[in-house]
Amino acid sequence: MYKQNQLVVFLFFSLIISAQEEQGIVNYGYVKSLQLGQKQGKEFNAQLTFDVNRSYFVSEKDSLETDLNKLLNPVYTEANEEKGTLAIIDLSGTGTNRVGNQVYFDRIKDTLWSYIMYMGSVYIKEKKPTISWKFDNETKKIGKYVCHKATATFRGRDYTVWYTTEIPIPYGPWKLNGLPGLVLEAYDSEYKIFFYFKNMEYPLKKEIKIDFIKFDPDEAFSKWHSYNNYLKHANNIIKKNNERKALFNKERNINAVPIKNTIENDRIENERIEIAE
């Protein structure tokens, strides 16, 4: 009986140690430059937590930022005559909230859940999208890890990622999953989206809970929407905002033509076609 108890205790602690060895926390920097690209935008902190079956990614969250006042500063971009771009002043505030933009991935259920801020209570559930990665022989070192290059077109943007097989798990920032190793750096061809590696704790010394999507108290949860429904909603929001800007100028006899937003410079997922539910 004593030996059996010893065996149970041994197995219990072995499971705890094994669980901890499979968990990790990665901290990224995230430069969001949807208007102009080339890393000309606000910079946020982002974090990925994971175990062997699940991952949780969050960015633009109040508690991740050490200096919210810095994010309040306007971001000014000068005009560029060669590229035909106008000067832009970003007065959007911190660009963060209490829960942040979030993505939760369950490998066993092969499903993604996500929340996108300021979308009017649209919480998304979708089957994990398949990304057709193309693998390159090029390598580079990020921190202490040797990373390999891969590219793919995903949700309207052309991405390059750098992943390490030294941590053979298929996770990355945002929804950039499905590679044979952890993604440490990712960016699109115009650097409108740029995630870069800061630091990592792996394996963890103490087991943690992998969070699920946290609901924003200002945007109450009602139901899970499909990605197609979200896409239609996002396009409609942008269309209405452009109409409001045009009406504002007309009512005040302002002759300047307002710059129209498109989903390309307003949302990370650049899908312009409205898809019926």
**Which pLDDT tens digit goes with each residue over 27-59?**
999 999 988 888 988 999 999 999 999 999 999
> What contacts 24+ positions apart, CB below 8 Å, involve 258-262?
259/86, 262/238
- Mean pLDDT over 143-165 rounds to 97
In the prediction, which pLDDT does 35 show? Answer: 80
On average, the pLDDT of the chain sits at 83
- Spacing of C-alpha 246 from chain mean position: 31
C-alpha 162/C-alpha 139 separation (Å) is 8
CB atoms within 10 A of CB 124: 22
Residues 6+ apart with CB under 8 A from 187: 159, 160, 193, 194, 195
Mean pLDDT of all residues in 140-168: 97
Partners of 185 in beta bridges: 162
Maximum alpha-carbon separation in the chain: 89
Share of the chain above pLDDT 70, in %: 77
pLDDT value of position 163: 98
Q: Give the start-to-end residue ranges of the domains of the chain.
A: 2-225, 226-277
* Range in 47-51, 92-96, 102-106, 219-223 with the lowest mean pLDDT: 92-96
Q: Output the CA–CA distances (angstroms, integers) from residue 210 to 20, 22, 112, in the order listed.
A: 12, 12, 14
CA distance 69 to 74: 11
* Residue % of the chain over a pLDDT of 90: 56
Query: What mean pLDDT do residues 180-191 have?
Result: 97
User: Does residue 181 surpass a pLDDT of 70?
Assistant: yes
CATH of domain 2-225: 2.50.20
Please state the rounded mean pLDDT for residues 152-165.
97
- Identify the pLDDT of residue 68: 59
Q: Are 173 and 48 in contact (CB under 8 A)?
A: yes
How much is the pLDDT for 153?
Answer: 97
Query: How many CB atoms are located within 10 Å of the residue 230 CB?
Result: 22
More confident residue, 162 or 241: 162
Question: What is residue 234's predicted lDDT score, i.e. its pLDDT?
Answer: 82
Q: What are the distances in angstroms from CA 263 to CA 28, 56, 66, 213, 231?
A: 25, 25, 30, 24, 9
Whether residue 6 has pLDDT greater than 80 = no
Q: What is the pLDDT of residue 245?
A: 73
How much is the pLDDT for 267?
A: 80
pLDDT at site 91? 44
Helices (H), the chain: 2-21, 68-72, 227-251
